[in-house]
């Protein structure tokens, strides 16, 4: 983009040059409808959500927990949730949540299990980072310079299991992380 810009400027042309980063998270804050691969990612996320629903529905107090991509924005989790008839709770980085007390996640899970006998939770990888950061030390950065995130899916599954064990309620939680399946599929049309 830089080389093209310099050539355009050298020729005195009125041309704008924009670089679009490679991301399937749809987290580019410019005027585009969808980033490349976003539709494919949402479509593949549906398979994981469907599997979580089948697993959760086949056990008393079954909980299907699906962690989807979305470091700083929950577009994949949000759109996959909207497209699904099976998600009871979607946690994204843009909306903080808490576990304990009225309005907390644990109370909602208890209510949903009582009403329906099972539930599905979708969580974007960047959700709840402030909740778990106090329990873990700094994780560093990846090769691209992005902050390494703590695994909210594993942490959340552990916290849910601990909560229900403490309350002497048996649950059957299945945790699904389809990240590499989603990244590895060919793009749809």
Helix (H, G, I), strand (E, B) or coil at 129: helix
Residue 151 appears among annotated catalytic residues: no
The end-to-end CA distance of the chain, in Å, is: 26
DSSP string, 90-117: EE-TTS---SSSTTSHHHHHHHHHHHHS
Is 95 exposed, middle or buried, given 0-12, 13-18 or 19+ CB atoms closer than 10 A?
A: exposed
Phi and psi dihedrals of 66, rounded to 5?
-115, 120
- Among residues 25, 27, 86, 88, which one is catalytic? 25
| Other Cβ atoms within 10 Å of 143 Cβ, number | 5
Distance in angstroms (rounded) separating the CA atoms of residues 26 and 110: 33
Smallest CA-to-CA distance from 65 within 149, 148, 151, 133 is with 151
| Sign, Cα dihedral of 96, 61, 163, 138 | negative
Q: So which residues are the catalytic ones?
A: 25
């Amino acid at each position: 983009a830089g080389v093209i810009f310099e050539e355009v400027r050298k020729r005195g042309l009125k041309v704008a040059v924009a670089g679009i980063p490679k991301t399937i998270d749809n987290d580019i804050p410019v005027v585009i409808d969808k980033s490349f691969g976003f539709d494919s990612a949402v479509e593949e996320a549906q398979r994981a959500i469907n599997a979580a629903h089948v697993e959760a529905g086949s056990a008393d107090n079954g909980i299907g927990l699906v962690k989807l991509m979305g470091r700083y924005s929950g577009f994949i989790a949000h759109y996959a949730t909207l497209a699904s008839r099976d998600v009871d709770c979607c946690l994204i980085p843009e909306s903080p949540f808490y576990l304990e007390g009225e309005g907390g996640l644990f109370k909602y899970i208890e209510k949903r299990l009582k009403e329906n006998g099972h539930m599905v939770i979708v969580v974007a990888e960047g959700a709840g980072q402030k909740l778990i950061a106090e329990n873990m030390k700094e994780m560093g950065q990846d090769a691209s310079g992005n902050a390494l995130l703590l695994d909210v899916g594993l942490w959340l599954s552990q916290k849910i299991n601990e909560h229900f064990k403490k309350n002497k309620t048996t649950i059957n939680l299945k945790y699904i992380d389809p990240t590499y399946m989603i990244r590895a599929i060919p793009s749809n049309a």
